[in-house]
Structure 1
Amino acid sequence: MPISLYDATVPTMIQMLNAAQGWIEKAKASDISEETIATACLRDDMAPFPKQVNWMICHSLGAIEAVRKGEMNPDLEDPTTELEQMRLNLGAAENKLRALSIGELESFVGQEVHFVYKPHDVDIPFAGEHFLLSFSQPNFFFHATTAYAILRHVGVDVGKMDYLGQIRAAAV
């Protein structure tokens, strides 16, 4: 049985957005200040934690919205630096993804979508499925992994099971 575009994207996005909410709960419960977390990054040439969290949303729910309208532009706005608001934003994105239908995602196959970054004259055309699977999904995991790594780097007590969140194991 072939896997659907929905199955290849949405459940894992939901899993990781939910997991990230747990990381933030652990960060809030730690002795590490919000300011320390908000300014933390892995290297000077990488974005700090709030942007990594924001880009998780951009490459999950934002990617779905981009295919709907046929265009994605990079989100260059400064995101919230408040941990609770980040958690709420992740939860809102998760809930909107839960409301998606399989049929809508399947309608994205073959639909044209462009990644447009005007300051650098970039316009990359994709078919909807390739945009989600070869552009947004890898970006989503990059930013999720980076956000998680930043929390570990500053001393938040998160481990591999926190990163994975609620896996979808099948009863045998």
Structure 2
Amino acid sequence: MSSQNIDAITTLFQSRLTTLEHLLKLAQKHFGDSESFLDQRIATDMLPFGTQIAFTCNQPRNFALWCKGKPMDNLDPQVTSVAAAYEHIANTQALLSNIDAEDEKLNELVRIDLSQGRYIEMFGHAYVHDFLIPNFYFHLVTAYDILRMAGVPIGKQDYMMHLVPLIQKA
């Protein structure tokens, strides 16, 4: 991402969360009343689609909380209903909508606590570009891939829908 300001980061997260919601709607349409697709996974040692929703939301959620000076707070990874998945997305978008931080925030040191007493310290720019955004895309793409594997008729246009308004005809 070339622009490194809070508004641009927020816009990126918002638009891709709209993509996640779009993918969820297509899955819901494909599977009808069954919510079994929430348990679909690519491989047995990978987390299911419902968890991918929560993990995708965690990145912009923790960005918004950090911008507000609050500690990271990951969502419950056990997403067992479509309603809960939509709620995670909507709540994350609401958090992003209420960010009121200056770009100087990106120069602050961030501590990310990992498991077993380990942690990473990095400046806000690195936190966003080396931690949050890569994790965000990893889980968004994994969610997309799970749905493709499960037979949901989706394609690149569904994943890249943020570009659709820019398409022109010659």
Task: Name the TM-score, length of structure 1 as normaliser.
Answer: 0.83
The alpha-carbon deviation at position 100 of structure 1 amounts to 2.5
Q: 1:110 aligns with which of 107, 115, 123?
A: 107
**Aligned in 2, Cα 1:170/1:29: closer, same or farther, shift over 3 Å?**
closer
Residue aligning to 1:25: 25
Residue aligning to 2:35: 34
Q: Any conservation in 1 of the 2:55–2:136 contact (CA below 8 Å)?
A: yes
| 2-structure distance, mates of 1:87, 1:165 | 18
Residue aligning to 1:55: 55
Q: Any conservation in 2 of the 1:40–1:154 contact (CA below 8 Å)?
A: yes
| 2-structure distance, mates of 1:55, 1:94 | 14
Q: Any conservation in 2 of the 1:14–1:94 contact (CA below 8 Å)?
A: yes
Q: Any conservation in 2 of the 1:70–1:114 contact (CA below 8 Å)?
A: no
Q: Larger relative contact order (C-alpha < 8 A, sep ≥ 6)?
A: 1
Percent of aligned pairs with the same amino acid: 22
Residue aligning to 1:160: 156
Unaligned runs of 5+ in 2: none
Residue aligning to 2:88: 89
The alpha-carbon deviation at position 125 of structure 1 amounts to 0.5
The alpha-carbon deviation at position 3 of structure 1 amounts to 2.7
Residue aligning to 1:140: 136
Q: Is the partner of 1:115 in helix, strand or coil?
A: strand
Q: Any conservation in 2 of the 1:109–1:128 contact (CA below 8 Å)?
A: yes
**Aligned in 2, Cα 1:148/1:63: closer, same or farther, shift over 3 Å?**
same
Q: Any conservation in 2 of the 1:71–1:116 contact (CA below 8 Å)?
A: no
Residue aligning to 2:147: 151
Task: Name the TM-score, length of structure 2 as normaliser.
Answer: 0.84
**Aligned in 2, Cα 1:80/1:106: closer, same or farther, shift over 3 Å?**
same
**Aligned in 2, Cα 1:112/1:165: closer, same or farther, shift over 3 Å?**
same
Unaligned runs of 5+ in 1: none
Residue aligning to 1:122: 118
